[in-house]
Amino acid sequence: MIGKDIDLAIKLLKEGQLVGIPTETVYGLAGNALDENAVTQIFKVKNRPTFDPLIVHTNTIEKVHDFVLGMPEKAHILAKHFWAGALTLLLPKKNIIPDLVTSGSPLVAIRIPNHALTLEVLSRLDFPLAAPSANPFGYISPTTAQHVEAQLGGKISYILDGGSCQLGLESTIVGFEQEQAIVYRKGGISIEAIEKVIGKVEVKAHSSSNPQAPGMLKSHYAPRIPLILGEIGKLIPEYAEEKIGILSFKKYFDGIPTNQQFILSEKGDFGEAAKNLFAAMRTLDQMDIEVILADLLPEQDLGRAINDRLRRAAAKS
């Protein structure tokens, strides 16, 4: 059931049930992060392997300190600049956070989301929420309540409708080793924006097993139809015998019906492209086509994070 009833969402969460919640990044599948039964249900509903950790959501930095043993100076600086927002910090956890949430890691991924409805929910709860994306594991992340309902509607109690996600791309995950900041997942805060605040960062590649942070698996965010990356103009002749869909940054291609082409941003705007990415992949995945041809964006700004998602969506192809 989809609705805007915050009181109902809070009631269900207090009862240990799961609720779809809106954030500025993507919709989350939320449950009480301190309740192992609720967390177990998140893994079951998503069909998510328990070695892939979850992100914990709360609404104030003061509450963050209730769940972590400490924050390095650079973490404080990043939190001050980017919270509430699309930044997740990987920090040493207190025992109050179940090991199930962190997949046995001593570090917990935690953030303050920037969405008015969810911030109100969090402000009225005495526990944080574990909330991975509200989709079956490995599939395209949802950016509307309707996406959540189409995929998980029969498995969860309620979906809090906060409209379309403003950003449409998951959070950037940053951890720390001694004084070095490390980006474990590219996301809605660009590398350039982070480095402007705290200086040079290290960027980790994805992990194929036992990831150190959520969203690091090689194959992820994938449509069911094979997605092929490359120069679209050169790929089209190779796949001429198949029904082709196009996912392009900013141009249309001759010879393919325009209704089978999705342009992320005709004006070449990275923010617009990020917001449209998952909805575009989902739209193409529902078409009567046999292959999706896609090109990479310039490796800068949010283009890095979009390319990361495209590469992982193409990995199983």
Q: Residues annotated as binding site for L-threonine?
A: 25, 57, 111, 131, 171
Write out the binding residues. Answer: 25, 48, 57, 111, 131, 133, 141, 171, 185, 221
Alpha-carbon distances of 256 from 240, 291, 292, rounded to whole Å: 10, 12, 12
Calculate the CA 15 to chain-centre distance. 26
Neighbours of 149 (CB within 10 A): 19
Please tell me whether the peptide bond between 279 and the residue prior to it is cis, using omega within 30 degrees of 0.
no
Q: What is the dihedral of CA 65, 69, 73, 77, to 10 degrees?
A: -30
Report d(CA 71, CA 79) in Å as an integer.
10
Contact 217, 304 (CB under 8 A): no
Which tokens hold the place of 287?
């078409």
Known binding site for ATP: residues?
48, 133, 141, 185, 221
Question: What is the β-pairing status of strands 55-57 and 227-229?
Answer: unpaired
Q: Can you say whether the dihedral through the CA atoms of 217, 222, 225, 227 is positive or negative?
A: negative
